[in-house]
Chains A and B, each alone.
Chain A
Amino acid sequence: MKKDNILDNNYLPFAARIEDIVIESEDGSLKTFKIVFEDEADWEKWRHEPGQFAMLSVAGKGEAPIGIASSPYERDGLLFTVNRAGVVTTALHEMAVGARLGVRGPLGNGFPVDGDLKGKNIVIIAGGFAFTTLRATLLYLLENRGDFGDITVIYGARTPGMLLYRNEFLDWEKRDDINLYVTIDREAEGWHGLVGFVPQIVSQVNPSPEGARALICGPPIMIKFTMPPLEKAGWQDNQVYLSLENRMKCGIGICGHCSSGPIYVCKDGPVFTRAFLNTIPQEY
C-alpha cells in the first residue's frame, strides 16, 4: 500500500466519522456502520475492490481489521458490519452517529472480479456474519451482470434474526438473475424458507463446477463440511476461493501476527484459492 498521505506515514488513518448505524442481528452483536471521510479529497482518492478490508481505528483503543461491506460503486460512504468481539469492536459498538474514527486502507487483495472470475458462473457460499465482503462482491457482480454467468448465493445463519442485510435479500429474491438460497439452522416461527446447515443446502443445490468459481466465507466448521459436497460434485481446489481472517496489526505484511507459513494474510490475502492454501502450513 502506497498512501499519498501527510508525512507518508503508513499508520496514519483517514479521518472519518460514523454517519449511520444499523443493528443487524437480533442479539445486537452485529452492527453495520456507514462511515464517511472528513476530508472530501481523501474520499475522492479512495478506491477498493470487493473482498478487501480496512483497519478501523478508535483512537485510544486501537485498530481492528474489518472487511469492506460496501461495493466500489456505493460512493456515498463505506459500510462495515462489525461483530462485537474484542476491545476495538466493543468500543465501536458503543459509539454513536457522528463519532469520529479512523479508516486505514484499503488493504489486502480482493476477489479477482476482473480476472479469474470474469465470464464464469459464480457460486457464493456464506455462513453467519461472513457475508460482508461477499455483499460487496455480489453488488459488484450485479452491477456488471453481463460479465458473469449464473449467480448462485447460498447463505445461512443460526436464526432468521441473525441474517444480515435482510431488506436487500428481499430485493435480490425478486430478481430472476440470481439463484438465491437462504437458510437457517433450525425451524423457527414465522420462517418459511429453507432450514438446514449451509453444507446440507450446498449438497441439495449441488452447484455444477462447469465453468464456475465458488467464493466461500464462513466459520471454519462450515468451510470444513462444505468442501466434501463440492468435491463430490467435481469441484477442483483451484475453482474455490476462500477469504481468511487472522489476527492483524500492521496490515502491510510486516508485523508477523497474521502470518501463515510464508504468507501474510493481510498483504497476500485475505483471498486465496484453496489450491494455493493446500501448499502452505494451515495456521489460520
Chain B
Amino acid sequence: MNSMDTPKKLIQLSKEDLLSAINGLKDVSYTVSPNFNDNAPGPGDNIIKRFMFPQPEPLLFLEREGKDMVHRPYCVISKSSLNPDDDTSHHTISDTVAETIILGIRPCDARSLWLNRLACEEDNLFSRRVDGLIIFGLLCNKGLSTCFCEDVGGGHQDVRGMDVAMIDDGDGELRLWAVSKKGLYILNRLGIYEDDIIDGLMEGATDNSHEKVGDCSLLDELMSKDMLTLYNAPFWQDIKDSCLNCGACTFLCPTCYCFDIQDEAYGKVGRRIRYWDSCMFPLFTLHASGHNPRGEKIYRVRNRFMHKFKYFIERFSHISCVGCGRCIIHCPVNIDVREVIGLMRAVS
C-alpha cells in the first residue's frame, strides 16, 4: 500500500555509499537498525521506541538552594572540559534535541511514530525530540508468520511515518526516494538529490507525519462496536487466566507510550525523570488511599487490549497497533493478539 502522492524521484545507491554520505554529515547523528544490514524479515530490534521515549528521560533538574530543594529547567555543569571558557555552562533539556537519522526501520515501526504523535503531541519534550528524527524506512520484501500489519491498516510497502523510503534490492543495492519534505531536505544535504530536482519535488511534497491513514475494515468494525459490551464480554476472563501480567508486551510494543515520573535526588542535586511504565502492573493505578481501580488482573489485561482496539479509536479514530507482532513472539504464555482481536470482532 502506498498512500503517498508526493512526487517520486527514485535513486539507486549502494548501502555503503549511503552510509558514507550520512557519515559525512557533521551535525546529524544516526543509528542503524540491524535490518538495514541483513534485510532479515520482520520488525527486528525496536530502536525507534528508544528514540521516541528515551529512558530514563530527564524532565527537569533539582538543586538544593539554602534548605530547600528547587526545580530547574537545566542542570549547571561546573567548569570542566566541556566548556573550558565558561565558569559554568547551562545544559538545558532542549539542548539535547538534535537531528538524528534512524536508518532501516520497518514500515510498522515508522507508523508507530505517526500514531504516537497523535497521543503525545501535547508533550513539548516528545514533540521537539521526534521533530528531530529523520526516518529512513526499509520496506519489507516479506514478513514473519507473526506479522499482521495489513490487518491493522498498514502494509509491507506502507511509507507513512517515513521521510525516506528504501527498498533493498539485494547485493548491497538500495532504491530510495524522499516521501516527505524532511526527506527531500536530507537527501539534498546528502548530495543524493541535486538542487535542481528539489524545487519541483518540494512543491507537491507533504509533511508525511500528518499523512492520513488508509482504509481498514478492522478499524470500521471495532469503531462500530459498543464499548461497554466489549468491556463486559466474557472472554476477558479466559485471557486473564493465562496472562502473567509480566508487562513484556507493553515494553516491546512500539505504540505503548505510558510512563511513570519519579524524582532522584542525592545530596544537593537531583532530577525528575520519566521512564516506561506498564498498565499490566497493579501499582500503575493504585491510589494513595489504597483503593485500586484496576486492582484485579482482569482489569489490567482487558485495559491493554481495549486501549489499543477501542479506547484509542474513540479518541483518535485509529487503531493503536501496527501489527509488528513482537508481543506474539515474546509473550511467555503465548497470548496472540490476533486471537484477541478475533474475539473482540466476534462480540455483537
A interface, CB within 8 angstroms of B:
1, 6-13, 15, 57-64, 85-86, 89, 99-100, 102, 220, 245-247, 249-250, 252-257, 259-262, 279-284
Within the assembled complex, what's the spacing in Å between the Cα atoms of A89 and B314? 35
In the complex, are the beta carbons of A7 and B92 less than 8 A apart?
yes
Interface-facing stretch out of B34-42, B160-168, B207-215, B287-295: B287-295
Interface-facing stretch out of B19-27, B254-262, B337-345: B254-262
The binding surface of chain A is classed by DSSP as: loop
In the complex, are the beta carbons of A62 and B263 less than 8 A apart?
yes
A62 / chain B contacts, CB cutoff of 8 Å: 261-263, 272
Report B312 CB to chain A, min CB distance, Å: 8
B306 / chain A contacts, CB cutoff of 8 Å: 261, 281
In the complex, are the beta carbons of A9 and B279 less than 8 A apart?
no
The binding surface of chain B is classed by DSSP as: mixed
Residue of A with least CB distance to B128: A8
The proximity string for B residues 29-72 relative to A, scoring 1 for CB distances below 8 Å and 0 otherwise, is 00000000000000000000000000000011010010011110
**One of B227, B285, B286, B312 near A280 (C-beta < 8 A):** B227
B interface, CB within 8 angstroms of A:
59-60, 62, 65, 68-71, 73, 92-94, 119-120, 122-125, 227-228, 231, 257-263, 265, 270, 272, 274, 277, 279, 284-289, 291, 293-294, 299, 303, 306-307, 310-312, 314-315
Within the assembled complex, what's the spacing in Å between the Cα atoms of A172 and B323? 60
In the complex, are the beta carbons of A249 and B270 less than 8 A apart?
no
In the complex, are the beta carbons of B227 and A260 less than 8 A apart?
no
14 extra interface residue pairs, beta carbon distance < 8 Å, beyond A246-B293, A259-B303: A11-B60, A12-B71, A61-B263, A85-B288, A246-B285, A253-B122, A254-B257, A256-B279, A257-B260, A260-B293, A262-B310, A262-B311, A280-B227, A283-B293
B94 / chain A contacts, CB cutoff of 8 Å: 7-9
B287 / chain A contacts, CB cutoff of 8 Å: 245-247
**One of A13, A220, A262 near B291 (C-beta < 8 A):** A220
Report B332 CB to chain A, min CB distance, Å: 23
B288 / chain A contacts, CB cutoff of 8 Å: 64, 85-86, 89, 247
Within the assembled complex, what's the spacing in Å between the Cα atoms of A245 and B93? 31
Report A247 CB to chain B, min CB distance, Å: 5
In the complex, are the beta carbons of A256 and B69 less than 8 A apart?
no
Of A11, A252, A261, A280, most buried by chain B (CB within 10 Å of CB) is A11
Report A9 CB to chain B, min CB distance, Å: 6
Report A30 CB to chain B, min CB distance, Å: 14
**One of B73, B265, B286, B294 near A60 (C-beta < 8 A):** B265
Known: A12-B71, A279-B227. A250 touches B293 (CB 8 A): no
In the complex, are the beta carbons of B315 and A9 less than 8 A apart?
no
Within the assembled complex, what's the spacing in Å between the Cα atoms of A86 and B311? 30
In the complex, are the beta carbons of B303 and A7 less than 8 A apart?
no
In the complex, are the beta carbons of B123 and A247 less than 8 A apart?
no
Residue of A with least CB distance to B300: A283
A255 / chain B contacts, CB cutoff of 8 Å: 258-261, 274, 277
Within the assembled complex, what's the spacing in Å between the Cα atoms of A86 and B279? 20
In the complex, are the beta carbons of A60 and B124 less than 8 A apart?
no
Residue of B with least CB distance to A268: B315
Known: A9-B93, A60-B62, A279-B227. A252 touches B307 (CB 8 A): no
Known: A100-B68, A249-B260. A59 touches B270 (CB 8 A): yes
In the complex, are the beta carbons of A60 and B122 less than 8 A apart?
no
Residue of A with least CB distance to B120: A254
**One of A11, A85, A282 near B289 (C-beta < 8 A):** A85
Within the assembled complex, what's the spacing in Å between the Cα atoms of A257 and B257? 11
Residue of A with least CB distance to B260: A249
**One of B122, B265, B270 near A252 (C-beta < 8 A):** B122
Contact sample, A vs B, 14 pairs, CB 8 Å cutoff? A7-B93, A11-B125, A12-B71, A59-B71, A59-B272, A60-B62, A60-B69, A247-B288, A249-B261, A250-B123, A255-B259, A255-B260, A259-B303, A259-B311
